Amino acid sequence: MEKEVWLQNLTWQEVKQKTTQSKGTIILPIGSTEQHGYHLPVGTDTMVANSIAEDAAVKAGVLVAPPLWFGWSPHHMVLPGTITIRPELLIEILFDIIQSLHRHQFNRFILLNGHRIVNISWLQITAERAKRELGVKVAIFDPAYMSKKFDNQFGWGEVGHAEEIESSHMWHCYPNLVKMDRAQDNPHHHRRIYHVDPKYAGDTLSYVPSSSSEMKVLAKKSGGTAGEPSKASREGGQKYHEHLVKRLVEVIAFLWDETV
């Protein structure tokens, strides 16, 4: 996070200049601090959001705001290191961040979600409010949904938690923080009705965070992992990352299009 695309690394004069140059565009990485199995750090969701944001911002010439390291993670409280913030507070915090930036001429916001489906509900509520009350453009960029067209030649299964997708991505971006030798597989079983996976035609989207007792089973079985991190690859992580950076640059161009 030392590059000059990060807002916190600039002086206010540099921020002002960059605001004009970027047509008022800024990426807000939003993640979580929560358990990620035996092999990934608790900051994983925020870290992957930061990496995608940083690389896309360099390419597109826009800024990245300081990340929001906390998300809605009540279901992961069964394991240490997890911090959960109530969604009603997250909505208020994120709205104030957008409002502050808007006061200084930012008017195109990309909410880059590293915490998958759990953050989406409150991000949508905040984005709608910002559009309505401030008249700004807001897009939500969710890596799981924005990678539906990713060429998965690596044998990865569906989205879970600390699974092969997330593990590969972290392995590419933060090799020193990943402990693949400790990873524990926990293969998915197909759920009959409710099944969340963006690449699955029957994806129901209607996710409700698991209860403590449901999560205790997961914690005991695999240390909090759902999926098969043994299928992770560093090369796959790099390809996946590059795909997402490209898509994010496309989203920025979409926000610049005055006809939409």
- What is the rounded distance in angstroms from the CA atom of residue 68 to the CA atom of residue 123? 12
Least Cβ distance, residue 31 to Zn ion (angstroms): 8
Least Cβ distance, residue 70 to Zn ion (angstroms): 13
| Number of shown-chain residues binding Zn ion (CB under 5 A) | 2
Of 235, 228, 226, nearest in space to 171 by CA? 235
Query: What residues from 25 to 44 belong to the interface with Zn ion (CB under 5 A)?
Result: 44
Helices and strands in the chain, H and E counts: 8, 4
- What is the rounded distance in angstroms from the CA atom of residue 54 to the CA atom of residue 125? 25
Phi, psi angles (nearest 5°) of residue 21: -60, -35
Least Cβ distance, residue 225 to Zn ion (angstroms): 10
Give whichever of 44 and 51 is closer to Zn ion, judged by the CB atom: 44
Helix intervals (H) in the chain: 12-21, 44-60, 87-103, 116-134, 143-146, 164-173, 212-222, 234-256
Give whichever of 44 and 107 is closer to Zn ion, judged by the CB atom: 44
Rg of the chain on CA atoms, in Å: 18
Dihedral sign computed on CA atoms, order 122, 123, 129, 130:
positive
Give whichever of 45 and 55 is closer to Zn ion, judged by the CB atom: 45
Q: Are 252 and 25 in contact (CB under 8 A)?
A: yes
Least Cβ distance, residue 221 to Zn ion (angstroms): 18
Q: Give Cα separations from 202 to 33, 121, 145, 191, 194 (angstroms).
A: 29, 20, 14, 11, 9
Give whichever of 22 and 222 is closer to Zn ion, judged by the CB atom: 222
**Kindly report the CA angle at 81 between 71 and 44, in degrees rounded to 5?**
55
Least Cβ distance, residue 99 to Zn ion (angstroms): 28
* Residue 55 contacts Zn ion per CB under 5 A: no
Least Cβ distance, residue 151 to Zn ion (angstroms): 22
Q: Which residue is nearest to Zn ion (CB)?
A: 45
Query: What residues from 88 to 117 belong to the interface with Zn ion (CB under 5 A)?
Result: none
**Residue in 24, 28, 45, 227 binding Zn ion, rule: CB under 5 A:** 45
Give whichever of 76 and 243 is closer to Zn ion, judged by the CB atom: 76
Give whichever of 102 and 169 is closer to Zn ion, judged by the CB atom: 169
Residues that bind Zn ion (CB under 5 A): 44-45
